[in-house]
Amino acid sequence: MTDAPTRPNRPVYLDNQATTRCDPRVLDAMLPWFTEQYGNPHSVEHVMGRVAEAAVETARGHVAAILGADTREIVFTSGATESNNIAIKGAARFAARYGDERKRVITVATEHKCVIESVADLADEGFEPVFLPVRPDGLLDPDALREALSVPTLLVSVMAVNNEIGVVQDVPGLAAIAKEAGALFHTDLAQAVGKIPVNATGWKVDLASVSGHKIYGPKGVGALFVRRRPRARVLPLFSGGGQERGVRSGTLPAPLVVGLGEACRLAAEEMASDTARIDGLRDRLWDELRVRIPGVEINGSTFHRIAGNLNVTFPVESALAMLERMPDLCVSTGSACSSAEVEPSYVLRALGLPDDAASRTLRIGIGRFTSPADIDYAASALAAAHSGQSFGA
């Protein structure tokens, strides 16, 4: 937003890969659907249901638009974790049910935990999970994928943007390699939507996952792109009323869906300006850190990377100790899901970082609502914490 505040917020929130502030404009768009228009969007027998249904369909249009997809290719879910579960387990189970002999499911060692677990879960059902390593810059080597595809493969899942190190995989290139080998291709776009241009149709992916709360929308809603031509097929994770073309049963939460739609609409409209501004803030922070803390290192490709992510290894004894010294700065030691764990990040390990370096690393996520003052605060806090001093509090 152009009218970003110039004074720092407290606490300063720089963990925008964990979750984002719900944009006030998204909240405004949602509120009437919580309070006045509470009809069940599936109750199309009466006007209140039909009004809610129309709002859901408008939102579907916004989600389809940012993905370059058709509205009929969008299935609403409770979030990217559910979308990833449906895409991976659903595609594998569908293939197995209809007699497909292929068992291999390929993903990458640095994927989000829910992708790793969904693929790993499939081993119990007779599938063959393959986890490909990444290069030291966090990117998947296309030749590693080609080699893995020498065994007939059902599905390849590669995230577009990594949640810890922000690196951008070459999804169109990898999808083409998978297609050539006859495999389906899924991509987790949770961290990509609104950060880089995405085009599910143009990229020729079969399945793609979207999250609401990573793009300034509400928690509890997401979407799955399911290609129509040629048709990607999945079995549902659970059944019931048969909503969402049978892919995902359950009453659609109209207000949350409206919020996701509005978040996608804003992301499409403001991505260029957001990115330019965030890029400048990121450079400002990185320049400051390099000057104030000699020996800081950035993990993952700096070229193939979203603007809003810095993953920095500090020359200190421990990143956790740094966090304790700056209670008013919200940054993280890894992904949110696992950040309560003491284990070093498996993503950094996959990059070849020793555990000692991983434990000295912080993820810094800059977002739409980050101000220059927030950045200056963060630089000072990190520099102080690095040299053993408390900051703020």
| Contacts to other proteins from residues 106-125, by CB under 8 A | 112-114, 117-118, 121
Question: Closer to other proteins at the Cβ: 249 or 275?
Answer: 249
CB of 256 to other proteins, least distance (A): 5
Residue 366: CA atoms inside 13 Å, Cβ hemisphere, count? 30
Q: Provide the token pair at 86.
A: 């449906």
Question: Closer to other proteins at the Cβ: 37 or 199?
Answer: 37
Out of 4, 144, 176, 330, the residue judged to bind other proteins by CB under 8 A: 330
- Any idea what DSSP says for residue 246? G
* Contact status, residue 33 vs residue 45, Cβ threshold 8 Å: no
> Would you tell me how many other CB atoms lie within 10 Å of the CB of residue 82?
21
| Contacts to other proteins from residues 239-258, by CB under 8 A | 239-243, 246, 249-256
| Contacts to other proteins from residues 253-312, by CB under 8 A | 253-256
* Contact status, residue 391 vs residue 301, Cβ threshold 8 Å: no
346 binds other proteins (CB under 8 A): no
| Residue among 157, 151, 99, 109 nearest 128 (CA) | 151
Whole-angstrom Cα distance, residue 127 to residue 56?
36
Out of 1, 48, 65, 321, the residue judged to bind other proteins by CB under 8 A: 48
Torsion angle defined by CA atoms of residues 178, 87, 91 and 157, in that order, rounded to the nearest 10 degrees: 20
**337 given a catalytic annotation:** yes
Whole-angstrom Cα distance, residue 173 to residue 154?
18
Question: Closer to other proteins at the Cβ: 301 or 335?
Answer: 335
CB of 295 to other proteins, least distance (A): 24
238 binds other proteins (CB under 8 A): yes
| Contacts to other proteins from residues 156-185, by CB under 8 A | none
Binding mask 63-102 for other proteins (x = CB under 8 A): --------------xxxxxx-xx-----------------
Strand partners, 207: 186, 226
CB of 6 to other proteins, least distance (A): 19
213 binds other proteins (CB under 8 A): yes
Distance of CA 55 to the CA centre of its chain: 25
Active site residues: 337
